[in-house]
């Protein structure tokens, strides 16, 4: 907090504005976490017609409710940098 150290704080203190991290479910994920139809259109089945709860016996067939991106943001950035470097090297050799 190099900037504004006179007006913001991370701990409760006098007249400074308290900055706290967000804890909870963001609006974009709320629908996917708490509805029976996901944003992708996939239906989530939790019970059978007779009211009994569905139990996943074969864990290899189970699906995440919200699939995670297999790549971290660092891996995605490295991939984009490689693509950009390839484009730059290809365009520098082309005469117009």
Domain of residue 71 covers 8-92
Give the span between the Cα atoms of 65 and 33, in whole angstroms. 7
Give the span between the Cα atoms of 50 and 52, in whole angstroms. 6
pLDDT at 82: 93
* Residue 49 resides in a domain: yes
* Residue 73 resides in a domain: yes
What is the DSSP code string of 66-84?
A: SPPPSS-HHHHHHHHHHHH
* Residue 3 resides in a domain: no
Give the span between the Cα atoms of 61 and 58, in whole angstroms. 6
* Residue 17 resides in a domain: yes
pLDDT at 96: 45
* Residue 2 resides in a domain: no
Mean pLDDT by 10 residues, the chain (96 residues): 71 81 78 76 77 71 67 83 90 61
Number of domains in the chain: 1
Q: The tokens of 42 are what?
A: 């996939």
Give the span between the Cα atoms of 56 and 74, in whole angstroms. 34
* Residue 1 resides in a domain: no
């Amino acid at each position: 907090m190099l900037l504004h150290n006179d007006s913001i704080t991370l701990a409760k203190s006098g007249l400074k504005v308290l900055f706290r991290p967000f804890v909870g479910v963001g609006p974009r994920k709320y629908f996917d976490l708490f509805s029976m139809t996901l944003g992708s259109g996939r239906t989530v089945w939790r019970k059978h017609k007779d009211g009994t709860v569905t139990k996943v016996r074969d864990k290899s067939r189970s699906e995440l409710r919200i699939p995670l991106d297999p790549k971290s943001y660092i891996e995605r950035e490295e991939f984009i940098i490689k693509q950009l470097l390839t484009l730059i090297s290809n365009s520098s050799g082309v005469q117009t």
